[in-house]
Amino acid sequence: MMYNAFKKADKPVKLFLHQDGHNYLDTLVVNDEPWLEIQNKWLAHYLYDVDNDIENMAEIMVQSNLTGKFTQYDSFGEYKEGKVTSMG
């Protein structure tokens, strides 16, 4: 519902679906980049208008419960349909 509300309001949406608890995010690595670096890029871009290309990151990142690797999707529709746009 939140995803659809943001899309309807024409706001940027990023979903990050992972297999670990929230207390383990500080050690999580997403496609060779530490999660905290990704989070800092988002905050710097959206709060301080830093041009760091974070808006070019896939809209949805989903971690496999088998391999721990992340798959990127350009939209929630592609995720639901199983259309992989690139592998990490």
Q: pLDDT for 10-34, tens place per residue?
A: 988 888 888 877 767 778 888 889 9
What size, in residues, is the chain? 88
Any domain includes 10? no
Range of the structural domain that residue 76 is part of: 29-88
Are 55 and 15 spatial neighbours (Cβ–Cβ below 8 Å)?
no
* Structural domain includes residue 59: yes
Distance CA 55, CA 29 (A): 19
pLDDT surpassing 90 at residue 76: no
**Residue 23: inside a domain, yes or no?**
no
Q: Could you tell me if residue 83 is inside a domain?
A: yes
Residue 14 buriedness (CB in 10 A; 0-12 / 13-18 / 19+): middle
What confidence tens digit (pLDDT) does each residue in 30-65 have? Answer: 888 998 999 999 999 989 999 999 989 898 899 988
**Domain-located, residue 13:** no
- Asked if the structure places residue 1 within a domain, the reply is no
In a domain, 85, yes or no: yes
Q: Is residue 11 part of a domain?
A: no
Q: What pLDDT score does 40 carry? A: 95
* Number of domains comprising the chain: 1
Tell me if residue 26 falls in helix, strand or coil: helix
pLDDT at 5 (0 to 100): 92
